Amino acid sequence: MTPATSSNSLLQGHTAAITGAGRGIGAAIAQRLAADGARLWLLGRNLPTLQALAATLPNHAVAGCLAVDVADAGAVQQAWAQMAEAGAMPDILVNNAGQAASAPLGRTSDALWHQMLSVNLSGSFHCLRAALPAMQAAGWGRVVNVASTAGQRGYPYVAAYTAAKHGVIGLTRAVALEVATQGITVNAVCPGFTETDLLRDSVANIVGKTGRSEAQARDALAQHNPQKRLVQPQEVADAVAWLCSPAAASLTGQSLSISGGEVM
């Protein structure tokens, strides 16, 4: 991944917690916020992956790496306790951790349904609940939830994922109104099909089930985007960085579609 080239200090003095930070969109967000001057807590389930990312960032940009499953409310509380003990409570939260799995509704098991809700929706809730008190005490905060175009429209064969991402957008709107007078904004970004490991898994699934080539499968996903291309992680990171910046102070409760016009 090419490091972000921004070198301003818009976020100097601010600390960001990024979930699902180790790869893809999360890693791109970490690189961009570090370039904008923020200190980072990198959160994810795979500590070595987080540490490998941290090694590519300036030393002053990394507050620490924490192995945490956001679906586990107790683990999230423990992570925030560790941040408090370190004296570096985040005033920026990027809820990026997520999973995607597909199945027709009739073959969507209870386990799959609960897994999609637990990681994508409950995980965002757990982290929001843990992060808000410090932001409220400081009178300033930024929350960006990484949702999906699946939260703005429907897609077949991903009912559980789509329901969870719709929930993330509803959560965004509700909390934005709760804290609107407290110097805190809460927004969502909604990427379309993006060049990540999740997309590569989707491509492999299409190839395995339909017999299409990898190129044909990738093209089928790109066709959802009116620009006929896949979104790049850095494009999502740039939108997140803007939402965290002073320039976006009047924007809250919004869901920005990063999809080349797929959702208008």
Give the rounded percent of residues in the chain with a pLDDT score beyond 90.
Answer: 84
157 included as an active-site residue: no
Task: Examine residue 262 and state whether it is found in any structural domain, yes or no.
Answer: no
Task: Examine residue 1 and state whether it is found in any structural domain, yes or no.
Answer: no
Question: CA 39 to CA 34: how far, in whole Å?
Answer: 6
Task: Examine residue 7 and state whether it is found in any structural domain, yes or no.
Answer: no
What average pLDDT is seen over the chain? 94
The residue range of the domain holding 165 is 15-192+232-256
Total-model pTM: 0.92
Same-domain status, 133 and 49 = yes
Residue 52: CATH number of its domain: 3.40.50.720
pLDDT at 6 over 60: no
Task: Examine residue 2 and state whether it is found in any structural domain, yes or no.
Answer: no
Same-domain status, 179 and 213 = no
Q: In a 10 Å sphere around its CB, with 0-12 CB exposed, 13-18 middle and 19+ buried, how is residue 42 labelled?
A: buried
Q: How many CB atoms lie within 10 A of CB 99?
A: 16
Same-domain status, 114 and 206 = no
Sign of the four-CA dihedral 131, 133, 137, 142:
positive
- Helical (H) or strand (E) element with 127: helix 123-138
Give the rounded percent of residues in the chain with a pLDDT score beyond 70.
Answer: 97
Same-domain status, 21 and 120 = yes
Same-domain status, 97 and 118 = yes
How does pLDDT run across 163-177, given as a tens digit for each residue?
Answer: 999 999 999 999 999
DSSP state of 147: -
Task: Examine residue 9 and state whether it is found in any structural domain, yes or no.
Answer: no
Nearest Cα neighbor of 19 from 113, 111, 130, 101 is 130
CA 83 to chain centre: 20
Query: Which of 161, 206, 217, 258 is flagged as catalytic?
Result: 161
pLDDT bucket at 12, cuts 50 / 70 / 90: very high
For residue 200, the model assigns a pLDDT of 76
Same-domain status, 132 and 23 = yes
Same-domain status, 128 and 238 = yes
Same-domain status, 220 and 133 = no
How does pLDDT run across 62-117, given as a tens digit for each residue?
Answer: 999 999 999 999 999 999 999 999 999 999 999 999 999 999 999 999 999 999 99
Same-domain status, 41 and 153 = yes
How does pLDDT run across 232-242, given as a tens digit for each residue?
Answer: 999 999 999 99
Alpha helices per DSSP H over 146-227:
159-178, 197-210, 214-222
Question: Do the Cβ atoms of 164 and 116 come closer than 8 Å?
Answer: yes
Nearest Cα neighbor of 70 from 94, 87, 35, 54 is 94
pLDDT at 256 over 70: yes
Same-domain status, 169 and 221 = no
pLDDT bucket at 7, cuts 50 / 70 / 90: low
How does pLDDT run across 190-204, given as a tens digit for each residue?
Answer: 999 998 877 777 777
Mean pLDDT score, 130-150: 98
Question: CA 226 to CA 229: how far, in whole Å?
Answer: 8
pLDDT bucket at 3, cuts 50 / 70 / 90: very low
For residue 4, the model assigns a pLDDT of 47
Question: How far apart, in Å, do the first and last CA atoms of the chain sit?
Answer: 29
Query: In 3-state terms, the chain is what percent helix, strand and coil (to 5)?
Result: 50, 15, 35
pLDDT bucket at 151, cuts 50 / 70 / 90: very high
Task: Examine residue 36 and state whether it is found in any structural domain, yes or no.
Answer: yes
